[in-house]
Amino acid sequence: MVSNAPVTGVDPEVPSEKKKGDVQNKFNSDDSSTRIEPVPATYPPDKEEKEGSVEINYHTLTWWQAGVVLIAETVSLGILSLPAVVATLGLGPGIVVMVFMGLMATCSGLVMGEFRKQHPWVQSFGDAGEVIGRSIGMGKFFQELFGWAQTIFQIFVMGSHLLTWTICLNTLTNSAACTIVWGVVGLAIFWLLNTPRTLRAAGYYSFASFASIFTAVMVTMIDVGIEKPIGTTSIEASRTIGFTSAFLAVTNIGVAFSGHSCFFSVMSELKQPNDWPKALMLLQVCDMVLYIVVSVVIYVYVGPDVPSPALSAAGSPVVRKVIWGIAIPTIVIAGVIYGHVAAKYIFVRVFAGTKHVVKRTTLGVIGWLGITAATWIIAWVIAQSIPVFSNLLGLVCALFASWFSYGIPGCLWLWMHYGNWFSSPKKIAQFSLNALLLLVGLVLCALGLWSSGEAIAQDSGSDPWTCKSNAAS
C-alpha cells in the first residue's frame, strides 16, 4: 500500500536533511508561504556500502555514462519504426518531421535541466508537478497526476519491448513456441535484470545496448542495399495518404524522441548535475543522425513495403535471424532502464520517509523485487493485448510521450518565467518556442489518440492473446 507520508522533498539523494543541511529556495505561492527544499547530498565516489549500515550512493553517473544510458533507452525501439514512417509520409515530409521533432525534443530537455537546477530534489515528473501545482494550491493532485502518468507510460514502453522480444524470438526460432510463452520467458529475463537498485551498471552495459542496435541497423542497411540496388524500387518524395495513416506515422516519430520520462531520474544520478546539457547533446546528436540516415537508406533500398520493425526488412531469412540476434541486447537493456525508472518511482512512493529508501534492508529488498515483478507483469499483459508494433507505439505517444517530451516541459518553462514572458526579445523568442512545445503536445495527444485508436480498431491481421507467430513473413 502506498504510504501517506508526503513525498515532497523525499529523495534517495537526501538521506538526512539535518545531517546534510538545508537551503531555502523561496518562491511565491498562492498563500505567499515559503518553501524549504533540501540540498541534494554528496557522496565520496568510492564510499563502501555495507548491508543495512550505509546509505546507498545514487550519484554514480558521469555525463558520458548518462548520455550512453539515454541513448540506450531512446535509440532502441523508436528507430525500428522510422523507415516505415518515411515510406508512409514520403522522403521529404518524413525527414522534415524528424528534424522538427528532434529539435523540439532537444529544447524540452534543456528546459527540464533548467527546472531541476532550480529544484534539485526533483527526480520525477511527479515531483515537478508538485512544485508547479503548489502555486495554485493543487500540489498533491499534480504530483499524483504527473507521477503516475509517467509510471504508466514507462510500463507501456516496457510492454513494447516485450512485444519486440516475442517478434525476435519467433524470428530466431521459426516460431518454435507459442508467442505467449516467449512473452513469459521475456518477462522472467527482464525482471531478473531489473533487480539492481541503481543505474550504476547501466552506464556500462548500455554500451552493449547501443552497439547492438547500431550494428543491427547497419547490417540491415547493408543487406537491403545488396538485395535491392538503387533504382529497383519506387521512391516518392511526398505522398497523398489518409489522415489516420499520416498521423500514426507522426506519432511513431514522437516515440523515437520519447526518452524524457527518464530524464529527471538520470539527472538525479549524475555525479555533477551541471553536466546535464552535455549528456543531453550527446543523446540528441546521436539519435537525430542515426534516425535520418537509417530511415532514409532502408526506405530507399526497400521501397514502400518496408516493414515495422525495420529489422525484418532483410531479404534472406538467415540474415534476418542474424540481425535479430544482434538486436537482443538493446531490446532487453533499454526495456530494463525503463523498468528501473518506473519501479524506482513506485518504490519511493511506497517507502517514503523510511530508512528503506536509502539503506539496504530486508524489507526494502523484498519491496523492490515485488514492485519490479508487478510492473513487468502489467507490461506483459499490455504486450499481449496490443500485438501490432506500430499501433502500440502510436498509442504510447498519443497518451504519454506527447506530454512528457513536449507539452509538460513547455508548461515548466512558462511557469518558471511567469510574468517575464515578454520582458526582452530573447524572452519573447523563448516564450514562442515553449508555447509551440505545448501546442505540439496538445496536437499529438488529441489527434494521435484518434488515429491510433482507429488503427487498432481496423487492424484485423493480428489477434491479441494468441499463440500465432508475430514474426514478419
Q: What is the CATH number of the domain that holds 359?
A: 1.20.1740.10
Would you say residue 3 lies in a domain?
no
Residue with cell 513525498: 7
277: pLDDT strictly greater than 90: yes
Please compute the mean of the pLDDT values over residues 19-41 and round it to a whole number.
38
Q: What is the pLDDT of residues 188-231, one digit of tens each?
A: 999 998 888 876 666 667 778 888 988 998 999 998 888 765 55
Q: Is residue 309 reached through a cis peptide bond, with omega within 30 degrees of 0 on the bond before it?
A: yes
> What DSSP element (H or E) covers 38?
strand 37-38
DSSP type of residue 23: E
Q: What is the pLDDT of residues 167-193, one digit of tens each?
A: 899 999 988 889 999 999 999 999 998
Total domain count, the chain: 1
In this prediction, residue 13 carries a pLDDT of: 44
In this prediction, residue 180 carries a pLDDT of: 93
Q: How many CB atoms lie within 10 A of CB 395?
A: 25
298/203 Cα distance (integer angstroms): 30
Is 471:170 a contact under the CB 8 Å cutoff?
yes
| 22, β-bridge pairs | 38
| 133, β-bridge pairs | none
Please, what is the Cα angle at 94 between 93 and 100, to 5 degrees? 85
In this prediction, residue 53 carries a pLDDT of: 43
Given pLDDT bands bounded at 50, 70 and 90, which one contains residue 233?
A: low
For residue 275, give the 3-state DSSP assignment.
Answer: helix
Would you say residue 142 lies in a domain?
yes
450/262 Cα distance (integer angstroms): 26
112/106 Cα distance (integer angstroms): 10
Please compute the mean of the pLDDT values over residues 402-418 and round it to a whole number.
94
Q: Which residues contact 259 (CB under 8 A, 6 or more apart)?
A: 70, 73, 74, 283, 405
- Comparing 353 with 63, the larger pLDDT belongs to 63
Q: Per the structure block, which three cell numbers stand in for 39? A: 540540498
136: pLDDT strictly greater than 90: no
- Comparing 12 with 333, the larger pLDDT belongs to 333
In this prediction, residue 35 carries a pLDDT of: 42
Would you say residue 24 lies in a domain?
no
Would you say residue 344 lies in a domain?
yes
Would you say residue 2 lies in a domain?
no
* Sign of the alpha-carbon dihedral angle for 367, 369, 370, 371: positive
The residue ranges of DSSP E strands in 284-398, in sequence order, are none
Mean pLDDT is lowest, of 106-115, 328-337, 424-433, for 328-337
Please compute the mean of the pLDDT values over residues 90-98 and round it to a whole number.
91
Would you say residue 466 lies in a domain?
no
Distances 353 to 3, 116, 118, 347 between C-alpha atoms, Å: 9, 21, 23, 11
Given pLDDT bands bounded at 50, 70 and 90, which one contains residue 57?
A: low
Q: Which residues of 203-237 are buried (b: 16+ CB within 10 A; e: fewer)?
A: bebbbebbebbbebbbbbbebbeeebeeeebebbe
> What DSSP element (H or E) covers 113?
helix 91-118
Would you say residue 467 lies in a domain?
no
Distances 403 to 35, 117, 125, 445 between C-alpha atoms, Å: 27, 21, 11, 8
Range of the domain at 112: 54-458
In this prediction, residue 21 carries a pLDDT of: 37
469/461 Cα distance (integer angstroms): 12
- Comparing 15 with 313, the larger pLDDT belongs to 313
pTM of the model: 0.77
> Between the ranges 61-75, 280-294, 444-458, where is the mean pLDDT highest?
280-294
Please, what is the Cα angle at 163 between 158 and 169, to 5 degrees? 125
Mean pLDDT is lowest, of 50-54, 111-115, 195-199, 403-407, for 50-54
Given pLDDT bands bounded at 50, 70 and 90, which one contains residue 365?
A: very high
Given pLDDT bands bounded at 50, 70 and 90, which one contains residue 103?
A: very high
First and final C-alpha spacing in the chain: 46
- Which of 31, 411, 1, 47 lies closest to 198, judged by CA? 47
Helices 276-302 and 91-118, packing angle to 10 deg: 170
Cα torsion through 263, 269, 272, 277, rounded to 10: -10
Q: Per the structure block, which three cell numbers stand in for 220? A: 540491415
Please compute the mean of the pLDDT values over residues 135-156 and round it to a whole number.
89
Percent residues over pLDDT 70 in the chain: 83
Would you say residue 25 lies in a domain?
no
28: pLDDT strictly greater than 80: no
In this prediction, residue 230 carries a pLDDT of: 53
> What DSSP element (H or E) covers 99?
helix 91-118
Q: Mean pLDDT, the chain, as a whole number?
A: 81
DSSP type of residue 8: T
